[in-house]
Structure 1
Amino acid sequence: MKKSIFKLLAKLNKTLLPSFTKKELDISKASKFQLAIIGWRAFVTINSLD
């Protein structure tokens, strides 16, 4: 159940949230909002893979 929710969230993240790796964002120059998005995407990805 939990894993399927995170898989759905991962698909939504991929379509809705921007990909900062494609934009070649420098992490040291990222804003707090951009860092929050990166953290959220990492959290969802880790939980969908477990």
Structure 2
Amino acid sequence: MQKTFFIFLSKLNKLILPSYSKKQLDLSKANKVQLLIFGWRLYVTKKALG
């Protein structure tokens, strides 16, 4: 149940949130909102795979 939720959330994130890895964002120069989005996407992806 929980894994399917995170898989759904991961697909939703892919549609809505920007992909900073494709834009080659330098994390040392990212602002707080960009870091928050990056961390959220990383957390959801880790939960969906695990």
In the superposition, the TM-score normalised over structure 2's length comes to 0.95
| Residue equivalent to 1:47 | 47
- Name stretches of at least 5 consecutive residues in structure 1 with no aligned partner: none
- Name stretches of at least 5 consecutive residues in structure 2 with no aligned partner: none
Q: What is the percent sequence identity of the aligned residues?
A: 56
Residue-pair matches, total: 50
In the superposition, the TM-score normalised over structure 1's length comes to 0.95
Runs of 4 or more off by more than 4 Å in structure 1? none
Deviation at 1:24, TM superposition (A): 1.4
CA RMSD between the two structures: 0.5
**Distance in 2 between the 1:4 and 1:39 partners?**
20
